[in-house]
Chains A and B, each alone.
Chain A
Amino acid sequence: MLDIKAIRKDFPILSRTVYGKPLVYLDNAATSQKPSSVIETITNYYQNYNSNVHRGVHALSMEATEHYEAAREKVANFIGAPDSTCLIFVRGTTEGINLVASSWAIPNLGPGDEILLSEMEHHSNLIPWQRVAQITGAVLKFIPVTEEGVLDLENLSALINNRTKLVSVTHVSNVLGTINPVKELARKAHNVGALIMLDAAQSVPHMPVNVQDLECDFLAFSSHKMLGPTGIGGLYVRPSVLKTMQPFQSGGEMVKEVTFTSASWNDHPFQFEAGTPSISASIGLGAAVDYLQSIGMDEVRNHEMAITQYALEELKHLSEDFIFYGPNDISIRGGAISFYSDLVHPHDLGTILDQEGIAIRTGHHCAMPLVRERLKVSATARASFYIYNTESEVDQLVKALKKATRIFTNAYKKNI
């Protein structure tokens, strides 16, 4: 069991109030809060050894480089990468996916090749592939989503075929909470000679993830959703694939020898990290990994399963207007719960909850096709949990949702 009280003390922001009420932060799928250790690590870099990396012979630069590369080691180890040379620091999940699109997909794909996605993708794992398709003539295919909110694998053997060159799916859905059977997809992809990319923005922060166990070729995630700072994330690439990739951005840092008319590329991962990197953020991400590891990712997952289960049960006490999305089976869902009520539009729910100090997300969650064309609503409300959330916060959520229902029902009675 996690000591939530002790954990909450590590997050300074959790003691603030909003409109005079204690903050109840339930928007963790959008971004997580940061513990003191992460904030202090970043401050310490700027106060004590701020310097550029990989280029100075002076003490500060060597210290900064040491911390920067130590952070890469930690992050690579955290996701079970064979070594740190296959962990590229990127700006976040979005940039990681764009890097694969530019450096691997565009040089390798041609007309008639197929890229298989799912219907539950975040825009960041959809739009880059739409662009790849426009540029290369490749075709996008989609694994459908069932009524229950899981991937429909019935026609998978037709969807993954000899023309398939890449399967790119989300590990955990940021809208439905669904944990997808990505290992099975990896095997099927590899059977036809395709590669698989995982959007792990919602899995790496919340559960043990091991890239070798998952047998994936690419995996991208964002620091800011896993207690770390914004502006940094990781892209894992299988070593044998990494060797075949073209540069991403070009400039300093990513080259070895340069003449006026040509250049040779640096070793990876540096080949994919042109320019001065986000040094403080990378080191901050390292501190976030330390924090998560001190708790243990199994413990993180167990806590989220418990609180999600509790929330799903408590939310059932709301009026029947409320629809909840995603699977009921807690073993295949993460800690994000999306819901919709015809009586109180998500946007109005968001405002009313905000007045109670409760932060939730409302809208299409950057998954417009899923929300509009599959769930068939213009928006949903979403509560999403992390290690510092408590059952009492769930109770406050339910209470505030009841208040919102009351405001709109009273009006409704007057208006008929």
Chain B
Amino acid sequence: MDYSFDINSLDDLYQEVILDHYQRPRNKGVLTNPDISSKGFNPFCGDEIILSIKLDSKGKTKCILFDGQGCSISQASASMLTELLSNKNLDELKSISYSFRAMMRGESLSSGEMSLIEGLEVLEGVRKFPIRIKCALLAWAALEDGIEEYSVKVLKKEP
């Protein structure tokens, strides 16, 4: 592993947009009667994200809130998730989540995939801090778990 990063990598990590989402989180709270609710917890650092999602009659996201505590990266990523994912169906949510994961793994994305995760590119700087990638993915892992649980319990799909 190469530990000789360039000086600018802290700026890559703490981009203005990220700190903005951290300090002024969007859609923060918990829904009382969510269709999907899920919790992500990182035992390594104690970061916690709770997602609650309400779907409309067509199965599209009507309202997404997040709650939780933790570092700037985990909280900003969750806040950005709630903004990006409004008015999408479950398959779209999954595609976005997988594309985001692929970007964080350093895979090259098609232009279609890039457009799915528009706005999340600012989190790519986290890749220079491998230990922090988990922080960026925490909310997304919670999202995937929540969709999985909803599919099995409510939609009765095979897991």
Contacts and interface: CB of A to CB of B under 8 A. Distances in A.
A378 B4 contact: no
B48 A378 contact: yes
Interface stretch (A39-47, A106-114, A343-351): A343-351
Contact of B70 (A345, A352, A407): A345
Interface string B3-34: 11100011001101001100110000000000
B45 A363 contact: yes
Given A19-B3, A351-B132, A355-B10, A411 B16 contact: yes
A19 B23 contact: no
A414 B14 CA distance: 14
Contacts of B69: 378
Given A351-B132, A379-B45, A411 B20 contact: yes
A348 B132 CA distance: 9
B23 A347 contact: no
B16 A18 contact: no
Contacts of A62: none
Contact of B46 (A20, A344, A363, A407): A363
A378 B19 contact: no
B72 interface: yes
A349 B111 CA distance: 35
B7 to A, nearest CB: 9
A19 B5 CA distance: 7
A412 interface: yes
B4 A19 contact: yes
Contact of A347 (B10, B48, B71): B71
B20 A351 contact: no
A124 to B, nearest CB: 15
B70 A347 contact: yes
- Which of A347, A355, A411 has the most B CB atoms < 10 Å from its CB? A347
Q: How large is the interface on A (under 10, 10 to 19, 20 to 34, 35 or more residues)?
A: 20 to 34
A348 to B, nearest CB: 5
Interface residues of B, number: 27
A262 interface: no
Given A20-B4, A411-B16, A345 B46 contact: no
A148 B132 CA distance: 32
A408 interface: yes
A317 B16 CA distance: 27
A415 interface: yes
A371 interface: yes
Contact of A371 (B10, B16, B44, B46): B46
A345 B22 CA distance: 10
Interface in A271-298: none
A51 interface: no
A362 interface: yes
A20 B23 CA distance: 31
Most chain A beta-carbon contacts within 10 A, residue among B3, B4, B9, B14: B14
A187 interface: no
B46 A379 contact: yes
A371 B74 CA distance: 19
Interface string A348-376: 10011001000000111000100110000
Contacts of B131: 351
Contacts of A348: 14, 71-73
B13 A351 contact: yes
A412 B14 CA distance: 12
20 contacts: A19-B3, A20-B4, A345-B70, A347-B45, A347-B72, A347-B132, A348-B14, A351-B13, A352-B10, A362-B45, A363-B44, A368-B46, A372-B46, A378-B46, A378-B69, A379-B47, A379-B70, A412-B19, A415-B19, A415-B23
Interface of B: 3-5, 9-10, 13-14, 16, 19-20, 23-24, 44-48, 69-74, 129, 131-132, 135
Given A351-B13, A364-B46, A408-B72, 13 more contacts: A345-B72, A346-B45, A348-B73, A351-B132, A352-B10, A355-B9, A378-B70, A379-B70, A408-B14, A408-B19, A414-B16, A415-B20, A415-B23
